[in-house]
Each structure stands twice: as structure tokens, then as C-alpha cells.
Amino acid sequence: MSINMTSAGHFIGVDIGGTGVKGGIVNLEKGEILWGCVRLATPQPADPESVGDVVRQLVDELTAGSEAGRDSTVGVTFPGIVQHGTSRSAANMDRTFIDFDIGTHFSDRIRRPVAVLNDADAAGLAEARYGAGKGTCGTVLVITLGTGIGSALIFDGNVVPNVELGHISIDGHDAETRASAVARERDGLGWQEYSVRLQRYLSELEFMFSPELIIVGGGISQRADEYLPHLNLRTPVVPAKLRNDAGIVGAAIQAASATSGLRGSTSPTRRSTGSNQP
């Protein structure tokens, strides 16, 4: 399949997670994955060399090894703090990623320009522009529940980067060790038991930020009807509209922004009227 990667607003997005690496070719006019999504396991140990190999394999699969679109920037997310192209933390990745120039590394690997950002910030960008947060003014939180807990803080459609709300301390525990999707599986919790932990976590965020809306993303957003009805918050809590694709779409937004020299932002037009129902 041959896809023109620039003229029609098509960009490759790659979403690196603690357990899987996913990618797709995204149509940014519609905010949809046009082709893909390819998913490969995150190698263990998840060090720069082996993760770089997987990213290259994935981009090769998406482009069928073709030289077409070689100049087009590829967006790549990383599950840790990303500042000026450098990863600064690695809670669920190999520690050699700390203070590592991932922008240059991935770009060298795939021989294409690369724009990097935190995975939850990518999901936040996508949800704010095309998804459940589209048009919402004020503060919106996107919380991704997966191997860890990712967070994006959005104000009037703009993402404040690297807000690490998965690591706030709750009842003496790092929040993601209690309330991530992996923590639920590890501790063998049913949905109702898990909802209690989620309620505790989200109540704390509600107290800290008084958001207009909380969007829950990550793989677990596909099961939102199992736990959202048990939550009791002042703030509407809704599942991510782009579900688990938000990271890929957000990566593509970042690639397009890097290409045009703009930062990703959206145009909010209304306040939230959502409810806690999925």
C-alpha cells in the first residue's frame, strides 16, 4: 500500500508502552488511523537498543520498507518524562533511558526525522482535538490506565507537558502501583474492588485540580462500563473516545506540529456537559 505521507495530512504515529509498541498511519483531517495499527511486544529489558529495533521494525512494516515519505516526520511517544527530545525518567522502562537523547536515537534508527513526547501527553492531545475533550474549555485531565498511570493536564485545549500525576503519593503508596490496570491484574481485583482504588485516586486529582472533565484512557477504557458507574465524583468522568489509539494519533499530531513549527493545541468552544456514564 502506498500512502502519500504529507500532502493529505498523513503522519506516522508510534506509541511506545511498557508492554507493547503500536503504530499506525494517521489521517489528521479526521483524527483516525488510516492504516495499521501494528502492535509488537515491548522487548525486555526495554533498553534503547532493543526498543529502537522494535520501532524500526514497526515503521518498516507501516511503510513496507519503502523510501516514500522519507522526509516526513514520525511522531514517537515514550512512557516517561520527555523534555527537549530527551527522556528524563523511565518508571516502566530500562533505566538507561534516563537522560537519554531519544529524539536522535529513534531518528537514527528509522532514518527519518522524529518528534518525541510523553505517551499520556500524546493521548491528551488527541482526546482534546478529536475525542472526548473536544471543545471543552478550562481544565481537563486525561488519565491513562495501563502498565503505569499516565496523565495529561489540558487547559483550554493546550497540553501542559510532563505532568506526572501517576506518581503522586496516596496513603503512602505511589499511585500507579495501586490504581493502574496492571496493579488491578497483579492484585487479582474485581472491577468493583478496583473502582474503590480508582475513586480514591481520582478524588485526590479532583481536589487538586477541580477539572471540568476527567477522561480515562488506556487499554482499560474499553471496559469503562465495568468501573465508571461505581465512581462518585463531582467531575464528569468519561472514557477516552479514541480508546487505545489516542497515543498513536497524538504522536502524529506532534509530528505535524514539528513539521509546521507549531505546538499541538486545539480550539475549545464549550464547557463540559459530560456525565460519569461511558
Binding residues (CB under 6 A) for ligand BGC: these are 79-81, 89, 91-92, 118-120, 144, 146, 148-150, 164, 166-167, 176
Residues with Cβ within 8 Å of 101's Cβ and at least 6 positions away in sequence, in order, are 85, 86
Between 135 and 219, CB nearer to ligand BGC:
219
Residue 77 CA to chain centroid, in angstroms? Answer: 7
Between 120 and 255, CB nearer to ligand BGC:
120
Q: Is the dihedral of CA 73, 34, 46, 141 positive or negative?
A: positive
Q: In whole angstroms, how close is the CB of 52 to ligand BGC at the nearest point?
A: 18
Q: In whole angstroms, how close is the CB of 46 to ligand BGC at the nearest point?
A: 12
Q: In whole angstroms, how close is the CB of 127 to ligand BGC at the nearest point?
A: 14
128: nearest Cα among 137, 119, 117: 137
Q: Is 226 exposed, middle or buried (0-12, 13-18, 19+ CB in 10 A)?
A: middle
Q: In whole angstroms, how close is the CB of 117 to ligand BGC at the nearest point?
A: 10
Q: In whole angstroms, how close is the CB of 148 to ligand BGC at the nearest point?
A: 3
Between 250 and 268, CB nearer to ligand BGC:
250
Between 91 and 114, CB nearer to ligand BGC:
91
82-83 vs 86-87, strand pairing mode: antiparallel
Residue with nearest beta carbon to ligand BGC: 148
Helix locations, 72-175, DSSP H: 102-110, 119-130
- Cα distances (angstroms) measured from residue 255 to each of 41, 118, 151, 249: 23, 13, 20, 10
- Cα distances (angstroms) measured from residue 43 to each of 31, 96, 107: 29, 14, 19
Between 5 and 120, CB nearer to ligand BGC:
120
